[in-house]
Amino acid sequence: MAAIAPSILSADFARLGEHVREVEAAGADRVHVDVMDGHFVPNLSMGAVVVKGLRPATRLPLEVHLMVTDPDKFLDGFVKAGADSLIVHLEVLPDPRPMLKHIRGTLGKKAGLAFNPDLPVSRVEPYLADIDLALCMTVFPGFGGQAYIPASNDRIRELRGLVNRINPACEIEVDGGIDATTIGAAAGAGANVFVAGTAVFGAKEGPAAATRHLRELAA
Ligand code: DX5
Ligand code: ZN
């Protein structure tokens, strides 16, 4: 079953609660929160205070995508604020196992491992047994509104093969440039969780209709 995760990076921050309630009513499955530190990626976005503010506004799980160089510093704060899952980047962790164990064990949350479009998919394989979600970036992270990298389809297919063999319960999430023209191929290649920012909150037809449309196309 496909899951749609609207990214609030592209929402109107003056109307954030309203926007999130709108996509929740339209059947979104979780809310994707993009955290950028201006170091791992060349942009700043939001911190735990936004998760705290959103927590009472929605019943949807809040997943936090940590595009930061030092995720260790921030995990507790996001959990206290109400995060349900924490996604860290493999690029900044020589051995992600202790952190993944900490997230799932001590913190009792879902753990995700993200990786950029230039990281060989085989680098993720050793950790697939230790995660709930593998986040295959389909753009270089840092900004919303970028074009989906077509070579991602082959990478998703490769990841799907590994996940099926090692940990079939692990979700495969794609993030970046997901819209009505790209979601079908990503789903066909084996992704089952779809982050969409611009295609939801920037949609002419509005976030609710866009959420429903993406879900149909991913099914
Ligand atoms: C990329 C972020 C994405 C981004 C997706 O840096 O991790 O989650 O918000 O935005 P769109 O859907 O606009 O490509
Ligand atoms: Zn993201």
Predicted complex ipTM? 0.98
Q: Is the CB of 6 under 6 A from ligand 1?
A: no
**Is the per-residue pLDDT at 21 higher than 90?**
yes
pLDDT tens, residue by residue, 163-204: 999 999 999 999 999 999 999 999 999 999 999 999 999 999
Closest-lying ligand 1 atom to the alpha carbon of residue 139: 1
CATH of the domain at 153: 3.20.20.70
List, edge to edge, every strand of the sheet that includes 3-6: 3-6, 193-196, 171-175, 133-137, 110-115, 85-89, 62-67, 31-36
CA of 91 to the centre of ligand 1 (A): 18
The token pair at 127 is 């950790």
Cα atoms found within 13 Å of the Cα of residue 22, Cβ hemisphere only: 18
Residue 72 has a CB neighbour count (10 Å cut-off) of: 14
**Is the per-residue pLDDT at 1 higher than 90?**
no
pLDDT tens, residue by residue, 110-119: 999 999 999 9
Tell which one of 175, 182, 183, 200 to mutate to probe ligand 1, the residue whose CB is within 8 A of the most ligand atoms: 175
pLDDT at 160 (0 to 100):
98
pLDDT at 171 (0 to 100):
98
The domain in which residue 22 lies consists of 3-218
pLDDT tens, residue by residue, 45-60: 999 999 999 999 999 9
Phi, psi (rounded to 5 degrees) for 8: -75, -5
Residues 6+ apart with CB under 8 A from 176: 137, 138, 139, 140, 141, 146, 148, 149, 195
The total domain count for the chain is 1
CA–CA separation, 201 vs 210, rounded Å? 8
DSSP string covering 77-93, please?
Answer: HHHHHT-SEEEEEGGG-
pTM for this predicted structure = 0.98
> Which of 51, 56, 48 shows the shortest CA–CA distance to 73?
48
pLDDT at 91 (0 to 100):
98
Residue 47 marked ligand-binding: no
Dihedral sign from CA coordinates of 123, 192, 36, 129: negative
